[in-house]
Structure 1
């Protein structure tokens, strides 16, 4: 049986170089970064060098990078702290954000008695910039706008520089969940006027359990987690030195090889779309998946022409054949609810059919694609695979 991993939007395989770095730090660096003796200072230097590396790649100052346990914590830190500390009166987001943003925004609005509003979506599922501008123009209330750069389920991309520039022209603060884009796109935060972003190492071949928030200087945020003075007082708790070192190495390799690896992964995605059109022409690509200018090169979300009574067997069949993929976000896969993203953008007819997210990395091959297409065809045709 083949073993094909097409769920890279959920998490990626760790690079060997990253694993080597993590093991070296765990073996050789035992100190607490907050300790002032030589062993502690050795650990502290690893954390601070990693901070400088991340900051250099994103073209910001090291003091604007705060290490967290991942993207979810970074989103919560920004949204809840901004709502509590900065006099925010309104949060604007979209209904297709990751739940780390949606639920954090709901809680921030509830506990701080502020408005929560949602920008309209275009037919493809991209936030409507004209409606967003109307919302910003309609009120002088202090506003936080939170819109993700790359949607984790359907891959839609927004022009984050243009959107952030517009929001800033109306005095709004801007947060963007960039968990699906950091490590996959060049991000220059001197050109993109966001105030905050969130990122996670395991989305770009780094370790799980570590990420970072970018918080533009002089933000006025206070911590959500209280304790020691780690992360310059914004995020208490002893830093996971080995994971932070792994994040640094993963980012270094991601950007050193970005042009070559992104072209390769895009080739895998394009080949998958071509084979799908050839062998299963009734299949549809959800969102902007067919538009390389408006969708990430790392994933396809496919609506398959399968009757609802048979659809429940699809992922089971794929799993039995050694194929790993998602019916939506991996964060949703344990829920009985369907994808909140697809519910917003698909017709009632297409919602009755199974949609599957296939997401790709440098470790995938065209042979993987051929195998998956073969299994899908056999399933659709009712032939025992």
Structure 2
């Protein structure tokens, strides 16, 4: 079978060879980590050692990491605990967030009648920090701000340090969905001064079904999954030791190779921007994805006059690419609807593509993709 050109790395990334090997070795082990016999203790040791290694990479304490099944679960764990156990009465977020944040916030609104406020943003998806300050200044309730560090559809990088300074000024909790950032940006979670963050291994060349929540030390939370004392009574259920070890290996490799791989992918993105800009009339770069300094190097989001079944036709010719987030079932995501609602452009007249690059993309296949893609215009 001919190798497909995979350009949907923001949805999921292939496993690194080294991670695959580490998983194979781990699969030979057995013994419930909660058991007090030698096999269980050995697996428990490996889980805790993985926790320590991840914490060291992100400059946090091991006790601040809770292993979860995904970034979505991490977001749920954090948001639901803030309302149920930290007495948060108001959540400030944006309409550009991932569904795992927006739908959870809506569910909390229905269950607990919390106040929900949405911060403003411009047509490029830039969060209005003055509006954030205004919302916090007007508010007297215990508040959580939840804003993603890197937008998964348009690639915008939030000035999270500035947001954290504003939240600190108003004594407000801060959660950031860092799922598209961890493993791709040189993060120091302690220095960023945030209270909560979330991560998912399959976004940085690790296995599916494993992620983690960062919850700052001394913030007490409770498991919303009952039935066990795992993760220090913060997340019930037998730990996914295979996923934890695979994720740890993937994160270690991501940061060991970060400088080279970032430069490599960034050059591919620059090449694509130039070729697309020069060859497609009326091309739109969504958000800040054209701006190398203000967007993640892995994502390029574009729109152009309507081309029916384009992604399907590309797939048939061996190119895997996405029109939106993998969590969106409709053609137009809530992000694009929000970005285009106050513009003169009609969203139904446009086709959207998210080109997301990864370490396994070869320059030659990028050229082949562009040649094929431009043939539709």
For the aligned pair, the TM-score class normalised by the smaller chain equals over 0.9
Instruction: Give a deviation string over 1:202-249, Cα, whole Å, max 9, x none.
Output: 000000000000001121221110111100100000001111000000
Deviations 1:105-133 (A, max 9, x none): 11112211110110001221121100000
Cα distance in 1 for partners of 2:304, 2:331 equals: 19
Runs of 5+ unmatched residues, structure 1:
381-385
Alignment of 1:195-210 (within 5 A): 195-210=195-210
Separation in structure 1 between the aligned mates of residue 259 and residue 13 of structure 2, nearest angstrom: 18
Matches within 5 A, 1:93-242: 93-242=93-242
Q: Give 1:7's aligned residue.
A: 8
- Aligned-residue offset at 1:336: 3.1
Corresponding pairs, count: 373
The CA distance in 2 between the partners of 1:2 and 1:354, in whole Å, is 26
Tell me, what secondary structure is at the counterpart of 2:27? helix
Does structure 2 retain, via aligned residues, the 8 Å contact 1:303–1:350?
A: no
Q: Is the 8 A contact 1:285 1:301 kept in 2?
A: yes
Using the TM superposition, give the Cα deviation of residue 350 of structure 1 relative to its aligned residue in structure 2, in angstroms. 5.1
* CA distance in structure 2 between the aligned counterparts of 1:337 and 1:11, rounded to whole angstroms: 19
Q: Which residue of 2 aligns with 1:326?
A: 322
**In 2: Cα distance, 1:66 partner to 1:180 partner:** 18
The one of 333, 337, 342 aligned to 1:339: 333
Is residue 303 from structure 1 mapped to residue 303 from structure 2 by the alignment? yes
The whole-number CA distance in structure 2 between the counterparts of 1:212 and 1:2 is 32
Shift of 1:312: 2.6
Taking the aligned partners of 2:153 and 2:351, their CA distance within structure 1 comes to 14
Partner of 1:315: 311
Do the aligned residues in 2 keep the contact of 1:34 with 1:40 (CA within 8 Å)?
yes
Pick aligned residue for 2:374 from 368, 373, 377: 377
Aligned equivalents of 1:161, 1:191: Cα separation in 2: 8
Q: C-alpha separation between the residues in 2 aligned to 1:360 and 1:6?
A: 6
Query: 2:30 touches 2:39 (CA, 8 Å); kept in 1?
Result: yes
2:345 to 338, 344, 349: 349
The separation in 1 between residues aligned to 2:227 and 2:128, in whole angstroms, is 41
Distance in 1 between residues matched to 2:301 and 2:223, nearest whole Å? 37
TM-score by length of 2: 0.97
Counterpart Cα distance in 1 of 2:365 and 2:168? 44
Q: Distance in 1 between matches of 2:140 and 2:371?
A: 56
Inter-partner Cα distance in structure 1 for 2:330 and 2:105: 23
Displacement of 1:173 in angstroms is: 0.4
**Stretches of structure 2 lacking an aligned partner (at least 5 in a row):** none
Alignment of 1:17-166 (within 5 A): 17-27=18-28, 29-166=29-166
Q: RMSD over aligned Cα, in angstroms? A: 1.2
CA contact (8 A) 2:323 2:331 kept: no
Conserved 8 A contact 1:279-1:373? no
Matched residue of 1:331: which SS?
coil
Query: What's the TM-score once normalised by structure 1's chain length?
Result: 0.95
* 1:370 CA displacement: 1.5
Runs of 4+ that moved beyond 4 A: none
**2:92/2:118 contact within 8 Å kept:** yes
Partners of 2:186 and 2:179 lie apart in 1 by 13
**Aligned-pair distance for 1:371?**
1.6
Residue number in structure 2 paired with 1:359? 356
- The 3-state SS of whatever aligns with 2:191 is coil
Alpha-carbon distance in structure 2 between the residues aligned to 1:72 and 1:103 = 11
| Secondary structure in 2 matching 1:36 | coil
**Residue pair 2:98, 2:152 contacting (<8 A) in 1 also:** yes
Query: How far off is 1:31 after superposition?
Result: 1.0
Query: Aligned with 1:117: secondary structure?
Result: strand
8 Å CA contact retained: 1:2, 1:321: no
